[in-house]
Structure 1
Amino acid sequence: MDTIYVRKLSLVAVLITIGVIIAPFLWFPVLMTKAYPGQHMINVISGILLGPLWAALVAIITGIIRMSLGIGTIYSIPGGVPGAILVGITYKIMKRSKSIRKYAELAALTEPIGTVLIGGTLSLLILAPLIGDLRMVSKLEEGTIPALIFLWSGWALSSIPGAIMGFSIVTVINKVLPRLR
């Protein structure tokens, strides 16, 4: 088996494990769901160190394990995957550009865009009606835009601190262990 593939699989396993282990300790209730900034931190780390597809895999498996253990919600999938993918794609684009290559770690700060704007919108407009989440669907009666702003603000309380934590960790990792990239 290819050494790079084995390293990536190993890092996937480690990040999933960390994401599951910190979930019961690093969460708080927000609006109609639970906020897990640790998941957003893992999304940033996996997006930068592994790339968009591997990061999506980390987010999906971590979310499924958390749900099966009762320490996560169904919203962890649409809340985690878009942020992880966006970080991975942005990092790859920034890394290829000679003029902004040295700032590539700033891709971490795109995680809230993927999570809040894309994931939050998908959750409110597609997932909540699909699973019959009356708490979320009832917000739509106030209008789509007010409901989205309400949900986005709650999700931002989780995503922004997580992205900042992930950015800090990736910055340290890239200075201490540059070969890990």
Structure 2
Amino acid sequence: MSVQRLTLAALLIAIGTLSAHIFYIPAGVSKCFPVQHAINVLAAVILGPSYGVTIAFVISLLRNLLGFGSLLAFTGSMIGAFLAGIMYARFGSLKAAMFGEIVGTGLLGGLVSFPIAYYIMGKATVAWFFIPPFLISTIGGSIIAGLLIRSGVLSGISSTLLPLKKHKNNM
């Protein structure tokens, strides 16, 4: 573990936690949060899947402890971060990471949220209820991350930490 990687992880957690109450999309019992999806893609590309999942978990935990999130934040964000990281590690492509985030959060996270909403939160919904808002949120967040990475805004960060291939203990 390097100090730069831990510092960037802490910064992404702080941004994700502090912006959670400012911009979210209410969808039934869930609060869709595009900033989380952008952070998932950024973490996947720059830090890798293990950091991405850890960052997603900590942000979800803090959002829930502070009253800005719901239990469904865990399922969508962690599955999305994992798939984004795996896809980037496998294919080395920003588009692959974005696709992994969209499939992981939008489709799989939406489906996994149904039993949590029904059995744990006591909210009766249909299984596909969470998929449309999760997809909209994750597509928006993935595009934001893609634009940030492509624009060169993060070039100082990424030149220090990229390429992911150098950090094989990342998974």
Q: What's the TM-score bracket when you normalise by the shorter of the two chains?
A: 0.7 to 0.9
Once residues 93 and 174 of structure 1 are traced to their aligned partners in structure 2, the CA distance between those partners, rounded to angstroms, is 24
Once residues 84 and 32 of structure 1 are traced to their aligned partners in structure 2, the CA distance between those partners, rounded to angstroms, is 21
In structure 1, stretches of 5+ residues that fail to align are 96-103, 141-146
Aligned to 1:98: none
1:71 to 49, 68, 71: 68
Closer, same or farther: CA 30–130 of 1 in aligned 2, 3 Å: closer
Residue aligned with 1:23, SS: coil
Post-superposition shift, 1:84? Answer: 0.6
Q: 1:32-181 to 2 correspondence within 5 Å? A: 32-95=29-92, 104-106=93-95, 107-125=97-115, 127-131=116-120, 133-135=121-123, 138-140=124-126, 147-148=127-128, 150-173=129-152, 176-177=155-156, 178-181=159-162
**What TM-score, normalized to structure 1?**
0.81
Residue aligned with 2:26, SS: strand
Once residues 25 and 175 of structure 1 are traced to their aligned partners in structure 2, the CA distance between those partners, rounded to angstroms, is 23
Once residues 60 and 17 of structure 1 are traced to their aligned partners in structure 2, the CA distance between those partners, rounded to angstroms, is 13
Once residues 18 and 72 of structure 1 are traced to their aligned partners in structure 2, the CA distance between those partners, rounded to angstroms, is 15
Ranges of 4+ aligned residues in structure 1 off by more than 3 Å? none
Counterpart residue type for residue 139 of structure 2: I
Once residues 33 and 39 of structure 1 are traced to their aligned partners in structure 2, the CA distance between those partners, rounded to angstroms, is 14
The 10-residue stretch of structure 1 (12-21 or 104-113) with the greater mean CA deviation from structure 2:
104-113
Once residues 153 and 105 of structure 2 are traced to their aligned partners in structure 1, the CA distance between those partners, rounded to angstroms, is 24
Is the contact made by 1:31 and 1:154 (CA closer than 8 Å) also made in structure 2? no
Aligned to 1:100: none
In structure 2, stretches of 5+ residues that fail to align are 163-171
Counterpart residue type for residue 117 of structure 2: A
Once residues 61 and 125 of structure 2 are traced to their aligned partners in structure 1, the CA distance between those partners, rounded to angstroms, is 26
The CA RMSD measured in Å over matched residues stands at: 1.7
Q: Which has the higher Rg, Structure 1 or Structure 2?
A: 1
Post-superposition shift, 1:8? Answer: 1.4
Q: Percent identity?
A: 31
Count of aligned residue pairs for this structure pair: 159
Closer, same or farther: CA 115–69 of 1 in aligned 2, 3 Å: same
